[in-house]
């Protein structure tokens, strides 16, 4: 894997090329003009992880550059990282301070293997230090002092140990369309890495699902059903656009965070259920019963819009078929290949009304897309 080379002077050109490639890739679907949402050209990633490389009395942050020769043999090169322009300003400020403190402490540096950062736009920072040894009381004492010194929160991890000194999460605060939303983001669980692009995604999704759009189309707004809701990222921002929202997620940690986030944002018309997208499709079809299904109160919902934000594998055949049953579809995709495959199915019954490119990962080939479809 190549490490992204950040050059703000080249960003606009690279984004233009990425947008043109996206237009060409999806031209067959008769999509409207592509909406392009740029990222900050540097310091855009709110979380990252580094290996800790030890050389005699020195240690430093490292990543691996992976290349393949003509015979297909893999070559892995250690790259020293004294700073990381991809990462947030807060991470870059912390990197040298933390490194010097770790170097100076035999207890903190001994068999330290990896360091992970999770930060927010408001400056909260959670640092996870991962070791190949058992962490004792002396480690905890020095780590607590380091928390105070650098104004951070620290978690220590090793085999069968997970020591949370203050808390295992940060609170991200995102201003979207004049309103601030608060999100608990837990260490080692999925969160949107680019906070500014996340704000753009939420604003776009709020716009395409605004009740005025349904009225202009001569349709009832109805309720929203959401698959793969994570920590409630979209659920919370979209709740005021609908009478009721029912969201599903399989990760226990993400569901717990979603519940916290619903309460923190005063959302009282949304419910998050722990269930896979596949099982939820069966529940909607009346083919699955049980306590969780009963708690959803499905018969009292009027689902007309569905939001899907699947993993890179996209929607499986059953979920794709289920998605096509709704009048309106909001599809957030992190993989253009599986998005294209799913659109081949969905566009048999729906037309694309809006298409967006969110540059979640600048200077790479990765694409994040938003597609809004309406039944033909």
Strands across the sheet with 112-119, in order?
Answer: 74-80, 58-68, 47-55, 112-119, 125-131, 153-158, 161-164
Alpha carbon distance 56, 164 (integer Å): 30
Tokens of 34: 């592509």
Report whether 374 contacts 351 (CB < 8 A): yes
Instruction: Answer yes or no: is 360 a known binding residue.
Output: no
Instruction: Answer yes or no: is 309 a known binding residue.
Output: yes
Report whether 366 contacts 19 (CB < 8 A): no
- What phi and psi, each to the nearest 5 degrees, are found at residue 153? -115, 145
Is 368 an active-site residue? yes
Instruction: Answer yes or no: is 231 a known binding residue.
Output: no
Tokens of 290: 């049980």
Strands across the sheet with 303-308, in order?
Answer: 35-37, 350-358, 368-375, 328-333, 303-308, 223-227, 245-249, 270-274
CA 292 and chain centroid, separation: 26
Catalytic residue from among 124, 320, 368, 369: 368
> What is the b/e burial string over 211-227, where b = at least 16 CB atoms within 10 angstroms of the residue's CB?
eebbeeeeeebbbbbbb
Instruction: Answer yes or no: is 326 a known binding residue.
Output: no
Alpha carbon distance 246, 258 (integer Å): 12
Instruction: Answer yes or no: is 228 a known binding residue.
Output: yes
Is 278 an active-site residue? no
Per the annotation, binding residues for S-adenosyl-L-methionine are: 192, 228, 233, 249, 309
Residues with catalytic roles: 334, 368
């Amino acid at each position: 894997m190549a490490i992204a080379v950040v050059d703000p002077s080249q960003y606009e050109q690279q984004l233009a090329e990425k947008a043109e490639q996206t237009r060409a890739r999806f031209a067959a679907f008769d999509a409207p003009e592509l909406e392009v949402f740029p990222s900050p050209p540097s310091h855009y990633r709110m979380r990252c992880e580094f290996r800790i490389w030890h050389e005699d009395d020195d240690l430093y942050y490292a990543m691996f550059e992976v290349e393949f020769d003509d015979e297909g043999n893999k070559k892995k090169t250690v790259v020293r990282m004294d700073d990381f322009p991809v990462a947030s300003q807060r991470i870059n400020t912390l990197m040298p301070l933390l490194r010097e403190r770790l170097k100076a402490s035999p207890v903190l540096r001994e068999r330290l293997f990896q360091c992970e950062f999770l930060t927010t736009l408001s400056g909260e920072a959670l640092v996870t230090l991962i070791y190949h040894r058992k962490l004792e009381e002396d480690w905890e004492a020095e780590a607590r002092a380091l928390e105070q010194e650098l104004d951070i929160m620290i978690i220590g991890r090793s085999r069968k140990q997970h020591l949370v000194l203050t808390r295992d999460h940060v609170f991200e605060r995102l201003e979207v369309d004049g309103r601030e939303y608060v999100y608990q983001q837990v260490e080692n669980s999925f969160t949107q890495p680019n906070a500014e692009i996340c704000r753009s995604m939420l604003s776009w999704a709020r716009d395409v699902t605004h009740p005025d759009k349904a009225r202009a189309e001569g349709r009832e707004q109805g309720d929203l059903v959401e698959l793969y809701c994570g920590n409630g990222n979209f659920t919370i921002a979209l709740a005021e656009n609908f009478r009721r929202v029912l969201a599903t997620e399989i990760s226990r940690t993400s569901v717990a965070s979603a519940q916290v986030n619903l309460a923190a944002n005063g959302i009282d018309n949304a419910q998050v259920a722990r269930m896979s997208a596949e099982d939820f499709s069966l529940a909607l079809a009346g083919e699955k019963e049980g306590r969780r299904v009963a708690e959803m109160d499905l018969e009292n919902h009027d689902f007309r819009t569905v939001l899907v934000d699947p993993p890179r594998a996209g929607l499986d055949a059953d979920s794709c078929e289920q998605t096509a049953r709704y009048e309106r579809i909001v599809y957030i995709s992190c993989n253009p290949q599986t998005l294209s495959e799913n659109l081949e199915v969905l566009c048999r019954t729906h037309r694309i009304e809006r298409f967006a490119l969110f540059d979640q990962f600048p200077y790479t080939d990765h694409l994040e897309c938003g597609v809004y479809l309406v039944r033909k």
